[in-house]
Structure 1
Amino acid sequence: MGRKPKYPCGVCSRAVTTRTTGVQCEGTCLKWFHAECIGLTSTEYVAFDSSSIVWICNHCGAQNLAHSCLSSLQLSPDTNRFGVLDPDGQNVISEENSNSCRPTCDSSNPSSPGSPAYSSSPQNIKQRRSKHKPRPRVLRFLNVNCQSIRAKMQPFSILVHQHNPDIVIGTESWLSDGINSNEVFLDEQYSILRRDRSNDPHGGVFIATKTDLIVTREEELETDCEILWCRIEMAGSKTLHVAAYYRPKEDDEVSLAELQRSLSRLDRRHLVVLAGDFNLPGWKWDGPYVGPCAYPALHHQFGEIINDHGLTQLVKEPTRQANTLDLILISNPTLVNSVKVVPGISDHNCPVADIDMSPPRRYQPKRKVPMYKKADWEGFAELMQHVADYICSKSSSASVHDLWQLFKSGIEGGIQSFVPHKMLKQKQDLPWITSGIRKLIYKRDRLHKQVTRLRKQNMLVPFPLETELQHLKRLIQAESRKAYWSHLESIFTADGPNEYEGMKRFWKFVKNNRTDRCGIHTLKTDEHTITSPQDKAEALNKQFKMAFTNETDVPADLLPETSPYDSMPDIHISTEGIVKMLKKLKVRKAPGPDGIPALVLRKLS
């Protein structure tokens, strides 16, 4: 029996090969036909190859353009309709275009006609979507005091080119409505937002952002002070509010009040960056504290404003002579990578800050936890008996340190050999979700997928199916609430021989329900605010050290020649006494510096 042809004719069922003349339907059947089987003469077949005649398939009735014929497999520059015309009007085919126009044939069947060279039907090419989310970049902020940006266009361009900031916050632009932004800002990579003084050629603020950032001005946040707000949306990060602020005089109390009113309109959930010239020379930000100045009350008022709104000042170095006037404030200082002060274009230096809009996540590593309830204590005790015999044999020749290492290594080896371990999952399950509730959730998800599939196919969803889905949703909600409150009641009313079990479950519940996982928050001492991890560690060490007594040595001449107290008798250590102490160990306590759990010592005693 012969082999079945891969491309049978739709009329005679014989194979259609490259040695025969044939056409393919581009409709639903995708069948090949011999030219003679559908009544095509050789002249008509040649006409099919060089024209756009529409023909109807005998099998499925689909309309086809007459470009799917076998003679098009032997392409030449004269018949390539996609070639580039030279000045003389002839087709020119490069080697790349020539290769791309060749049909794909089946390598397993040399006589296979393959796919047609041209196709009148649209081809759906599925593009593989990237699974990775767009990663937000590190934004560089430049705070510059211009003192007439129009007179310093070239120095400003050099400054921007040198540091390549993503956002430029400028003060004292000295611009007016009659001056276009294109006349002043020469770099086309930045979009400009301005707020000029209407009745004074001085002052004015602006924000220049790179054109690839989605920026929207927020006039509803602006008040009757020189402040300009904009909102920046970035994929994978929180909404960013950026403001340029200028306080022209040190004694300007109205400007601080308007700044307070502007900040009170913000959404606390979003990230805020506020920069500009604040004209507060009394603040010593390396402390921080307010030094000698003419208006200390206004300086303290500004400190209360930034504390009330959760802002942290980043610039520590002077920006004008010995004073720090140009500031950058942020609502989340943990996102800041670096802050520096660079030479500016006026008598003010320029702070530069790099802010990571998507800081790296700190994933908790998997932990290997021993399960002492399933331990083989008999095998463990037998191992330790051999270790004890070996230590006794070495007691006369080995040092105390070596003997201790033998004991410790024996304990550690026994824990690895006779105590099973498990790896803690990174994501903790909800303890009140029972297996019954999980089965309901799985059933709800299956029904939801079934309903979604029917709706995508534009089919009518059966009423009983939709009713059952709604019933499952209500049932899961009710059972989850009931289980949740039952779990809480079992925590607070736990009774049993182990007094620590209820406390452990309570603090585990509190830990799983916390919303802030950013580590240790910003600390405040009498001297300054602490943000860096190293400074936080030193401050906490200093605080804990105060709990211990700071003893001082007594001079030898003040000590009595003989002690008035009786000498301590000799200490007798017995095996029974050691066992008694080991039996009193509290197994819920953390191990000491040696790392040996108290439960192991108590069980093996």
Structure 2
Amino acid sequence: MDNDTYDALTNKSFNWLCPHCEITCFTNSYFSSSEGETTDNDDDTEDYDNDNKSGDDDITDSTKNKRKPASKKSLRKEMLFTTLNINFQSIMNKRAEWEAMIHELQPDFIHGTETWLDSSIENAECLPDGYALHRRDRSSGTDRHGGVFFAYRKDLPVNRRQDLETNSEMLWCQLNIQGRRPILFGTLYKPKHDDIETVEDLAVMLETINNHSKLKDVVIQGDLNQPNIDWVNKKVIVNHPASKITAERLLQTVQEHGLDQVVDKPTRLNSILDLVLTNNSSFIKNVEVIPCLSDHEAVLSVLNGFAQVKKKPPHKIYLKHKADVEKIKQDMKIFGDEVNLTVQEKWDMFDSKIKQVMDENVPTKMSSNRRNLPWFTRTHIRMCKKKGRMYSKAKRTGDQKDWEEYKEFCRTIKKRVEPRQKRVRGG
């Protein structure tokens, strides 16, 4: 919002339409007239009530029930999504470090490449609680050093778009947005620098998306393994051993479909391999290259959008380690067997008895929406923050000694977190 619009909404008295929730409001200011920035308390509610007292006679009963617009600060919080683009080189070999990274960053969406997963591994083994995912593993009988997935918070309305998928390692998912066009997320892995088939498949899918009647914001993230493109200057690097034909075709595809590549720092050695492509760079607020779990760096980006969140109701959790086992055994001995009952009636009776005994002898608690790791302590949090500082120092100085210290500290973290994770989970 520009300054003129802000001043107009602050000082004028008229009915206005909230640009975010599209509800007509009847206050004489969009924001608090006493402050330029609202606070976390409920002072703005009092201001809202006082503003409307003088105009109650002119407002009908239906308009009195209109919802007060959210404050500028709360709107800003609600509209930000965090996405993580990460090359794993085997997610299962780095489970403890991976879960710690998720706990620290709390991303809303995750684009994963080189997952190295197969059908024997369940989704719940790949991610901590609170996330769902769609994935494309490499088929059995082929080199399993690939595969992609797209993970997201369970309370976000995400649907997979299999109609846009081809034989390439490409995955499409759609996020439905409240009051604006949806966001189409693409996760892509191009395993070789001369893999022009994947680039052609991408061009075909982008053409299909552009020809669709309903416009969408498109965000494509992944590892495209094209080291001979200078993404800052948008040109192919000459005298580079990587495929010039594939690089030119990829650049042509990006430019023909109006995409911007927003990562401007190397993600592996001196090359930008892990990309963030979008047809609407205005809603990407920030992009940061951060230390990762493999020889690639990860890309953390912030998107500006507002989705209709599906809140999961809290549910009861039995604390089995605090159960009165002896009392449970005694109560179950009393359980009798009625001969004249059908199989279904016997099962219903058994099921109700089990639930009754558990409720009486096993303490419970209600689930929380927070995604906490029980094995991840404050010490681990401090170590992760120190790891980030050591990475920033090594990137800034380029000193080999700093890089060796950073790598050694990463190995120390791994030795600390993996045993505790297995111990807490009983693995």
- Opposite residue 103 of structure 2, the aligned amino acid is H
User: Which of 79, 94, 109 is matched with 1:152 structurally?
Assistant: 94
- In structure 1, stretches of 5+ residues that fail to align are 1-126, 359-605
User: Which of 280, 287, 290 is matched with 1:339 structurally?
Assistant: 287
Output the CA distance in 2 between the equivalents of 1:307 and 1:249.
21
| CA displacement 1:290-321 (0-9 Å, x = unmatched) | 11323112111101101111110010100001
Give the 3-state SS of the residue equivalent to 2:175 in structure 1.
Answer: strand
Structure-to-structure mapping, 1:404-419, within 5 angstroms: none
Output the CA distance in 1 between the equivalents of 2:189 and 2:200.
13
Residues 232 and 240, structure 1, Cα contact 8 Å, conserved in 2: yes
Residues 235 and 251, structure 2, Cα contact 8 Å, conserved in 1: no
2:136 maps to 1:195:
yes
Structure 2 match to 1:214? 157
Structure-to-structure mapping, 1:499-510, within 5 angstroms: none
User: Which of 268, 272, 275 is matched with 1:327 structurally?
Assistant: 275
Output the CA distance in 2 between the equivalents of 1:216 and 1:194.
12
- Opposite residue 138 of structure 2, the aligned amino acid is R
Output the CA distance in 2 between the equivalents of 1:350 and 1:239.
25
Give the 3-state SS of the residue equivalent to 1:355 in structure 2.
Answer: strand
2:172 maps to 1:232:
no
Give the 3-state SS of the residue equivalent to 2:292 in structure 1.
Answer: coil
Residues 223 and 261, structure 1, Cα contact 8 Å, conserved in 2: no
Count, aligned residues? 232
Structure-to-structure mapping, 1:319-398, within 5 angstroms: 319-357=267-305
Give the 3-state SS of the residue equivalent to 1:265 in structure 2.
Answer: helix
Per the normalisation by structure 2, the TM-score is: 0.52
2:191 maps to 1:248:
yes
State the Cα distance separating 1:254 from its structure 2 match.
1.1
User: Which of 294, 297, 308 is matched with 2:256 structurally?
Assistant: 308
Residues 88 and 294, structure 2, Cα contact 8 Å, conserved in 1: yes
Residues 290 and 300, structure 1, Cα contact 8 Å, conserved in 2: yes
Structure 2 match to 1:265? 208
- In structure 2, stretches of 5+ residues that fail to align are 1-63, 307-427
Output the CA distance in 2 between the equivalents of 1:216 and 1:132.
29
2:104 maps to 1:162:
yes
State the Cα distance separating 1:237 from its structure 2 match.
2.7
- Opposite residue 193 of structure 1, the aligned amino acid is H
- Opposite residue 190 of structure 1, the aligned amino acid is Y
- Opposite residue 95 of structure 2, the aligned amino acid is M
Structure 2 match to 1:372? none
Give the 3-state SS of the residue equivalent to 2:120 in structure 1.
Answer: coil
Alpha-carbon RMSD: 2.0
Per the normalisation by structure 1, the TM-score is: 0.37
User: Which of 209, 220, 229 is matched with 1:283 structurally?
Assistant: 229
State the Cα distance separating 1:244 from its structure 2 match.
0.6
Output the CA distance in 2 between the equivalents of 1:257 and 1:178.
31
Output the CA distance in 2 between the equivalents of 1:314 and 1:231.
21
Q: Which has the larger radius of gyration?
A: 1
- Opposite residue 245 of structure 1, the aligned amino acid is L
Residues 232 and 241, structure 1, Cα contact 8 Å, conserved in 2: yes
Structure 2 match to 1:403? none
State the Cα distance separating 1:131 from its structure 2 match.
4.8
Output the CA distance in 2 between the equivalents of 1:291 and 1:239.
35
State the Cα distance separating 1:289 from its structure 2 match.
2.0
Structure 1 match to 2:244? 296
Output the CA distance in 1 between the equivalents of 2:161 and 2:208.
11
State the Cα distance separating 1:178 from its structure 2 match.
1.6
Residues 287 and 300, structure 2, Cα contact 8 Å, conserved in 1: yes
- Opposite residue 261 of structure 1, the aligned amino acid is V
Output the CA distance in 1 between the equivalents of 2:236 and 2:223.
17
Residues 147 and 173, structure 1, Cα contact 8 Å, conserved in 2: yes
State the Cα distance separating 1:236 from its structure 2 match.
2.6
Structure 2 match to 1:130? 67
State the Cα distance separating 1:353 from its structure 2 match.
1.0
Output the CA distance in 2 between the equivalents of 1:172 and 1:139.
24
- Opposite residue 125 of structure 2, the aligned amino acid is E
CA 1:128–1:211 in 2, change beyond 3 Å: closer, same or farther? farther
Output the CA distance in 2 between the equivalents of 1:128 and 1:345.
52
Output the CA distance in 1 between the equivalents of 2:183 and 2:172.
10
- Opposite residue 220 of structure 2, the aligned amino acid is L
Structure 2 match to 1:318? 266
Residues 141 and 352, structure 1, Cα contact 8 Å, conserved in 2: yes
Residues 234 and 251, structure 2, Cα contact 8 Å, conserved in 1: no
Give the 3-state SS of the residue equivalent to 2:258 in structure 1.
Answer: coil
Give the 3-state SS of the residue equivalent to 2:285 in structure 1.
Answer: strand
| CA displacement 1:303-347 (0-9 Å, x = unmatched) | 110111111001010000111100001111111211110001100
Structure-to-structure mapping, 1:86-165, within 5 angstroms: 128=65, 130-132=67-69, 136-165=78-107
| CA displacement 1:231-288 (0-9 Å, x = unmatched) | 1012133201001100001111111111111222214721000000000100122223
Output the CA distance in 2 between the equivalents of 1:177 and 1:260.
29
Residues 213 and 234, structure 1, Cα contact 8 Å, conserved in 2: no
Output the CA distance in 2 between the equivalents of 1:224 and 1:129.
50
Output the CA distance in 2 between the equivalents of 1:295 and 1:183.
37
Structure-to-structure mapping, 1:432-511, within 5 angstroms: none
Give the 3-state SS of the residue equivalent to 2:193 in structure 1.
Answer: coil
Output the CA distance in 2 between the equivalents of 1:256 and 1:288.
17
Structure-to-structure mapping, 1:44-83, within 5 angstroms: none
- Opposite residue 285 of structure 2, the aligned amino acid is N
Give the 3-state SS of the residue equivalent to 1:298 in structure 2.
Answer: helix
| CA displacement 1:176-209 (0-9 Å, x = unmatched) | 1121011221x11111111111133221000110
| CA displacement 1:27-85 (0-9 Å, x = unmatched) | xxxxxxxxxxxxxxxxxxxxxxxxxxxxxxxxxxxxxxxxxxxxxxxxxxxxxxxxxxx
Identity of matched residues, %: 33
